[in-house]
Amino acid sequence: MAGGRYRPLTDREVERIRVVSLDLLEQVGVARPTDEWRDRDVAGGSWINEAGRLCFSRGLVKDCIAPAEHDFAGCFPTRRLTEKENKR
């Protein structure tokens, strides 16, 4: 199998995970955030829901992870590994 072709999830499944993750962060939120985390994020556009959980808008989450998406690819080789390198 050539590198980069293993895809355990379909594009549709990946999109569903993304949508549900955003739903959870926006509608359910995070329980018991530290005071520092809560104060910083509320000042940045998050809110505390009626259950006392810290919630995040979809736009805020997307803005926060956008830079990481570009950096994440840097964790992987950009060239094919030789057979010797691949066995390490």
> Which of the four pLDDT bands, split at 50, 70 and 90, describes residue 14?
very high
Centre a 10 Å sphere on the Cβ of residue 23 and count the other Cβ atoms it contains.
11
Q: Is 29 left (phi over 0), alpha (psi -120 to 50) or beta?
A: left
**pLDDT above 80: residue 29:** yes
What would the two tokens of residue 33 be? 């955030």
Domain limits, the chain: 11-75
**pLDDT above 90: residue 65:** no
Q: Are 57 and 45 in contact (CB under 8 A)?
A: yes
**pLDDT above 90: residue 27:** yes
